[in-house]
Every structure is written in structure tokens, then in C-alpha cells.
Amino acid sequence: MSDKGFEISGADQEWSHFVESDDIGAACFRVDVAPSDVFYPVLCRRLGLHSIENLRAELKLQRNSVNKVIHIKGSISADVHQKCVVTAEPVQETINDTFNAWFEDPNQTVSFEKAKRERMSRKEQDKQPMIGEAEDPEAITDGEIDLGELVIQHLSLALHPYPRIDGAVYEGDDGALKDAPEGTYNNPFAALKDWKKNETKKDK
């Protein structure tokens, strides 16, 4: 089993780490990935961070021998500084999170749930309810999976949606000092954080 370990670099280039989908079989294999320091400034701009250090991920990849869907189970760790929602000062946060992701080659297989939903849609001409990612995997592009992009996406979900320095308070319209209400700061990952919590509850 091989990992291409191919990184694209450049001053404004985001981190990418590709693995060939054909190399992923029924036997589980592990890939450890971490970006070079040169990618951190671009990641900070994308995620709205003051700084990021020690980003790394441990990934286990395995293909289902029946439906050919690839399951990736990952764990992420990183040290980041976000902007306080009250004072705009840097807030330190240590990330330790886990995630699951699924991929498939649309030329090789179509999941049963997806085929069933499409058939029902044609018959009823009505919107079908959303289904879980495990039943509707991401499509593999050009025979490769970008593990770097996958890690970045799930890192964004792991960030605290309302970072705040200890003791920081928000001055409301009435002039009184109080705790900053959620939603005061327009954090782009807040809604995604709530979605992830709901998905986690469904899995339990």
C-alpha cells in the first residue's frame, strides 16, 4: 500500500496531500499527515486565525469490499490562536478532535441509498430528506483523495465558534457589562459547529 505524499507548495497555495484511491483496499492502512510551516499563513487567512502550529492528523483508510466505498477515520491535533469575540485579542486553543469521512468513485459504484433516492425523486418529483454522509459519500476526483483538504475542513469544524478571553465581557446596548451573547461575533464556523454536534448526537 502506498501514499503519494504529494504536497503542492507556493506562497498563496493551500496545503494538499494526495493519495491514490486505487491504493486503498480492504486492509486498513494508516497515513500521518502534517503541513510544512510554509502553508500556515495561507491556512490562517482561510480560517480567520491569528496563528496555527503543530497541525497534524492520523488517518486510517479502508475500502468496503462490498460497495467499494472508502471510509476514512481521522484524528486531528493543533494549537491555534483565534480572535476573541469581545476584545479581538488572540485566544489560545488546543484542538484534539476526531472525524469520519466517506468517498466513492462514481464510475465504479453507486450507493444503494443514492440510487433509491434518485428513483423516488423521479417518481414523486418531490424533495427527499437529507441522508447521512455514510450513505452519500463524496465523489473521488481523478482517482485521488486530497487528505490535506479533508483535514482542513474538519479542523474548521473543530474550532470554537465563539472564542473569548477569560473574564472578557460584552457591553450591551443599555451600557451594562455582561457576558457576550452567542452570535455577537459573526463567526463563519458557528453554524457548522452546531451541525456537527447534531450529527454526533444522531450517531449515538
Question: Is the CB of residue 157 less than 8 Å from the CB of residue 196?
Answer: yes
pTM above 0.95, yes or no: no
Q: Check pLDDT > 60 for residue 28.
A: yes
Look-up of cell digits 460584552 = 170
What are the pLDDT digits (tens) for 94-109? Answer: 999 999 999 998 776 5
Confidence (pLDDT) at 57? 98
As a whole number of angstroms, the distance between CA 53 and CA 78 comes to 6
49 pLDDT band, cuts 50/70/90, is very high
203 pLDDT band, cuts 50/70/90, is low
Question: Is the CB of residue 55 less than 8 Å from the CB of residue 37?
Answer: no
Instruction: List, in sequence order, every residue forming a beta bridge with 93; answer none if it has no partner.
Output: 80
Between 27 and 130, where is the model more confident? 27
Averaged pLDDT for residues 173-187: 49
As a whole number of angstroms, the distance between CA 177 and CA 78 comes to 33
Confidence (pLDDT) at 2? 39
Domain ranges (residues) in the chain: 6-109+136-203
Question: In 101-133, which positions are buried (b, 16+ CB within 10 angstroms) versus exposed (e)?
Answer: bbbbbeeebebeebeebeeeeeeeeeeeeeeee
Question: Is the CB of residue 81 less than 8 Å from the CB of residue 49?
Answer: yes
Q: What percent of the chain has pLDDT over 70?
A: 64
Q: Which one-letter DSSP state was computed for residue 141?
A: B
